[in-house]
Every structure is written in structure tokens, then in C-alpha cells.
Amino acid sequence: MSHLRVFFCLIRWDLAVEWRRRETTLNMCLFALLLLFIGSYSVASRTELQREFGSIFFWMVVLFAGTVGLSRAFLHERENAALTGVLVAPVDAGVLYLAKVAATWIYVMAMELLVFGAYLILFSFDRYDRLGILLAVMGAFTLAYVGAGMVLAAMTTGLRGGELILRVLLFPLMVPAVIAALEAGESIFKEPPPGESPLSPALCAVALLCFGAIYLASGFLLFPKVVEE
């Protein structure tokens, strides 16, 4: 079987398992909505605070809720030794990594779209002309996030306090990407104050894509060592 066919087979397998259980996506979405709801309540009385901190809340919710999805990405495989089953089959570990990244990217993007839907209502978003670039930034950020997070998730699943260690390792690694996403959010979510010229969101999206490419390439090379028995 060609690598491409294996790649799509693995994505289909992952999505089918998730579709039956609906565990990861539901947990992640519920956690994200709760975080956004609490964040919105804390600034509900002041419209200017909503505008000022809205984009920060949005990215923080994505960052925190995303780890719920990442930490569960290898849970079933580790628990039931299904990973060994996949690896004894003629499947390249690098292709398995890329397929896991693609499937988790879909879950996390679904969660981000739901969070954005809630954001529209709770934070009175009105800059609809920026929707396209926001989606591009979200997609690029998620690629960098999942690309780096998947390697760490494979290592921390099954460890004592693995979920906490995943966050401790992932968050500092994601700081450059978070800075880029926040810079993009400055001109997407609100009108920049006069005299200030934040970086163009397109430039931030390109920077995020570069981070994503670096994490994907290093993950592709390192992942076989992580799942080595």
C-alpha cells in the first residue's frame, strides 16, 4: 500500500473511532465553552474590556482546551496496545504521525469553530470582513499546535501525571506561535488604536505556517523513536 493510501486509511480509522465514541471532541468542546463562558462573564459589565481582552480569551481557550484533545489522542492506543498492532503492520511511523496530526487537526479546528460561534454571541464580534484571514490564522496556529503537541502527547500518555506534564512541556514550546496568533488577533478582533500599527495578520499566518512546517518536519523525524518498542 502506498504511503498516501495508508495515510488516508489511518485518518479514516481515527475519525471512525471518534465518531463512534465522540469522547475527545465532546470533552474538548464542553471544556472550551465553559472557559469562554467564564471569561465572558468576568468582563460582561464593560464593553471596552470585552473588545480589549476578547482575542486573548479566544486564544487562551483554544490553547487550554486543545490539550484535552491532544492528551486523549493516544489514550486508546496505549491502553489497548493498539499502537503495537498498528506498528507491526507495514505502516511507517512517520505516516502514522502525520495521520494522527491530520485527524487531531480536524477535531481541534471543529472545537475552534464552535468556540468562535460562541464568541460571536458572547463578545459581540462585528468584523465579518476579517473572517477569511481569521480562519487562515486559526488553521495555521492549529497546525503548529498539533504538530508539536502530538509528539509530546505520544510520550506523556501513560505517564504518572501525563496530562499535566504535557501542558508543562507544550505551553512554553507554543509561546512563539501564541505571540503570532495574538499579534494577528490585535487587528482581526478589534480596530487597532490610532497610532498603533500591529503586524499584518497575513504575515502572522505565514509565520505560523513556518512554525507548523518546522514542528511537522521535526515530529515526522522524531516520532519513530517515540513509538519504538
The correct pick among 161, 191, 194, 195 for binding other proteins (CB under 8 A) is 161
> How far are the Cα atoms of 60, 63, 123, 199 from residue 175, in angstroms, in the given order?
11, 10, 24, 17
As given in the structure block, the three cell numbers for residue 90 are 507495514
Is residue 173 a contact point for other proteins (CB under 8 A)? yes
Find the part of the chain contacting other proteins (CB under 8 A) among 26-34, 38-46, 101-109, 144-152.
Answer: 144-152
98 touches other proteins (CB under 8 A): no
In the complex, what is the shortest distance from the CB of residue 203 to other proteins, in angstroms, rounded to a whole number?
8
List the end-to-end C-alpha distance of the chain, in Å, as a whole number: 23
Residue 218 grid coordinates: 521535526
CA-to-CA distance for 167 and 173, rounded, in angstroms? 10
Concatenate the DSSP letters of all residues of 8-31 into one string. HHHHHHHHHHHHHH-HHHHHHHHH
Which helix H or strand E contains 182, and what residues bound it? helix 162-188
Interface with other proteins by CB under 8 A: which range of 13-21, 28-36, 47-55, 218-226?
Answer: 218-226
Pick from 91, 137, 151, 205: which binds other proteins (CB under 8 A)? 151
The stretch near other proteins (CB under 8 A) out of 53-61, 93-101, 135-143, 217-225 is 217-225
Q: Report if residue 148 touches other proteins, rule: CB under 8 A.
A: yes
Which one of the spans 14-22, 92-100, 128-136, 160-168 is the region binding other proteins (CB under 8 A)?
Answer: 160-168
Q: Of 49, 113, 120, 159, which one interacts with other proteins (CB under 8 A)?
A: 159
| Of 42-50, 69-77, 101-109, 146-154: span binding other proteins (CB under 8 A) | 146-154
CA distance 223 to 37: 36
Binding status of residue 88 toward other proteins by CB under 8 A: no
Are residues 71 and 153 in contact, defined by beta-carbon separation less than 8 angstroms?
yes
Beta-carbon contacts of 135 under 8 Å, excluding residues fewer than 6 positions away, are none
Q: What 3-state class would DSSP assign to 157?
A: coil
Q: Given candidates 23, 199, 200, 202, which one binds other proteins under the rule CB under 8 A?
A: 199
Q: Packing angle between helix 162-188 and helix 47-72, nearest 10 degrees? A: 140
Nearest approach, Cβ of residue 176 and other proteins (Å):
4
Counting contacts by CB under 8 A, is residue 194 touching other proteins?
Answer: no
Joined grid coordinates for residue 81: 496496545
DSSP SS3 for 216: helix
The reply to whether 133 sits near other proteins by the rule CB under 8 A is no
Instruction: Catalog residues that contact other proteins under the rule CB under 8 A.
Output: 148, 151-152, 155-156, 159-162, 165, 168-169, 171-173, 175-176, 179-180, 183, 199, 207, 211, 214, 218, 222, 225-226, 228
